[in-house]
Structure 1
């Protein structure tokens, strides 16, 4: 198996809210859509974010875990400067994110903040000045 990731699929309870957040709020472009079932957005040269209505996800993959706390995954969006972190966090707030943290300097030398999409998935917005961070810009 090649060392690569092709799709990140998120099972979401309200597909319309997710679509509105990413497409209408953040201005992302839909690559493929099956109304009421899935919205696919190309987020990299060979990477697609798939927002899948939870009931359709469960019918194919199985039941999702439910309960208190955060979904145990973060998605990350790296940017070139600390100022861009603050700009993206403001964009997420304007798009309707109810849970946006302020950007903060981190012990490892970067600057990051977080926002949540309507389903609660957390996005880290990061300026990572090190080689690994620069390699993904």
Structure 2
């Protein structure tokens, strides 16, 4: 792959797109950037400057969460965000300093997908 290759999108299959949108938009605060009428798929902006996004597709047959994968979202004030979310999400691990220099919490969406909230330093 060329050196200028960047990650632009991750897609999660969910069994219920309405519930997924409620979680990712209303609870986490992400913004819907595109909605496709022909499919049950929405795009959420994660990093507008770089064009990185998270897609949600309604596909109950594919929506099997795995503890082998995790999507990490970089945040600026992890403690503030974690305190706001702690009673609204399932917490897998509260904020901890990692061995590689970040500060990270792990939560789970309503479908069992793990999400890391990461602050640098």
TM-score by length of 1: 0.69
- Distance in 2 between the 1:13 and 1:65 partners? 6
Please name the residue that 2:41 is paired with. Answer: 38
- Higher-Rg structure is 1
Task: Find 1:78's aligned residue among 69, 74, 77.
Answer: 74
Q: Name structure 2 gaps, 5 residues minimum.
A: none
Match of 1:51 among 52, 56, 65: 56
Give the deviation of 1:98 after TM superposition: 2.2
1:25/1:65 Cα in 2 relative to 1: closer, same or farther (>3 Å)? Answer: closer
Q: Distance in 1 between matches of 2:8 and 2:94?
A: 31
Residues 14, 63 of structure 2: 8 Å contact kept: no
Does 1:113 pair with 2:113?
Answer: no
Unaligned runs of 5+ in 1: 59-63, 130-137
2:8 counterpart (6, 9, 12): 6
- CA 1:109/1:93 → structure 2, altered by over 3 Å: closer, same or farther? same
The alignment yields a C-alpha RMSD, in angstroms, of 2.5
Name the structure with the higher helix share.
Answer: 1
